[in-house]
Amino acid sequence: MLIGVPREVKNHEYRVGLVPASVRELTSRGHRVLVETGAGAGIGFPDAAYAGAGAAIAANAAQIFATAELVVKVKEPQPAEWAQLRPGQILFTYLHLAPDPEQTRGLLESRCTAIAYETVTSAEGGLPLLAPMSEVAGRMAVQVGAHCLEKESGGAGILLSGVPGVPGARVAILGGGVVGSNAARIAAGMRARVTVLDRSLRVLDGLDREFGGNVATLFATAEAVEQAVTEADLVIGAVLVPGAAAPRLVTRAMLQGMRPGSVLVDVAIDQGGCFETSRPTTHAEPTFVVDGIIHYCVTNMPGAVARTSAVALNNATLPFVVQLAELGFPRALSANPHLAQGLNLHAGRIVHPAVAAAMGAEPLPLAAALAG
């Protein structure tokens, strides 16, 4: 199979769909890989490294979209890329379609087969291709939140760890999944006062056992969320409904009870955000202020640590890329029901039920898509 890797064009996005080690794995299996010039240069993977791994170097993205059977990316395609996708072409990347009707329409019009990293499942019920970036984003959320709390960033001037005689910052984490548990790990390690809220008693019990009581856990009733948010110096939104838009847990009214200069970090912004006042931001302009509260809502947070993120993502995606290259569509998805859950769009129809519900459309049954 001919696999194409275009350079990412989203604002300040330096990750790359395939790193040279992944290219070598594919070319050693007899597949051809075409990489756009400069695709990995921002994170220390020059064209020479790709050529050494067996890839051909394309002069531009148009060459890749025109010839590749499988396009492997990191972030959702931008408008200029929608127009270049074609019927029968496989797109494998993060999509986050539920809160993005414009992108959904663009991809439907292309009639490509779009498989989303974030809805591929595992035998254990997890999301193995979302997990590596969720780990990065959860850990980063504490790092950027601590910076935003500094006075020069407009924050309240609070040190996350505190010092002897002065308590650490209060951190409320909404959601105890991969993002939330990683955020709790870093925040607790920095000696902040951490509370994690979740609606799963199993998740809360696991966190209590892991942290030995150093992290408080609360069942996420509306009252508990409101109290935790209004008392917090830093709130991290870490909720996820796979494939669907994130629920809005923090209302604008709650901001009135927070200390001016407190910080909201919305890791759920890729799925629409879990704060009523959230709107997508970029690494170029990561924050904005509403009612005296700083909001950090960057839609590609792991892009800030792009080399770490790209390698971690490739570790998870490569086995699925190999399956797609070896078997093609639909055989790869028929052979692997967990990969099949990643199928969001096919031949101008929405397949994933959560995306279809968000768009008010009737989904094409997975079996029908796989049957052609």
Point out the residues that are catalytic.
96, 270
**Measuring CA to CA, how many Å separate 30 from each of 158, 180, 319, 335?**
56, 41, 15, 21
- Nearest alpha-carbon partner for 346 in 371, 323, 369, 321: 369
The burial of 95, by beta-carbon neighbours within 10 Å (0-12 exposed, 13-18 middle, 19 or more buried), is given as: buried
List the helix and strand counts (H, then E) for the chain.
15, 15
CB-based contacts of 268, cutoff 8 Å, min separation 6: 175, 237, 238, 239, 240, 246, 274
Helix (H) or strand (E) holding 228: helix 222-231
Q: Is 200 helix (H, G, I), strand (E, B) or coil?
A: coil
Q: Residue written as tokens 């199928």?
A: 343
Copy the structure tokens of residue 230. 């209004």
Strands (E), the chain: 2-5, 32-36, 56-58, 70-72, 90-93, 113-116, 170-174, 193-198, 216-219, 234-237, 263-266, 287-290, 293-296, 343-346, 349-350
Q: Is 30 helix (H, G, I), strand (E, B) or coil?
A: coil
Strands 193-198 and 90-93: unpaired
Strands 349-350 and 343-346: antiparallel
What is the C-alpha separation between 24 and 40, in angstroms, rounded? 15
Question: What one-character-per-residue DSSP string does 307-322 give?
Answer: HHHHHHHHHHHHHHHH
Question: What one-character-per-residue DSSP string does 230-289 give?
Answer: HH-SEEEE----TTSPPP--B-HHHHTTSPTT-EEEEGGGGGT-SBTT---B-SSS-EEE
* Ramachandran angles phi, psi of 329, nearest 5°: -100, 135
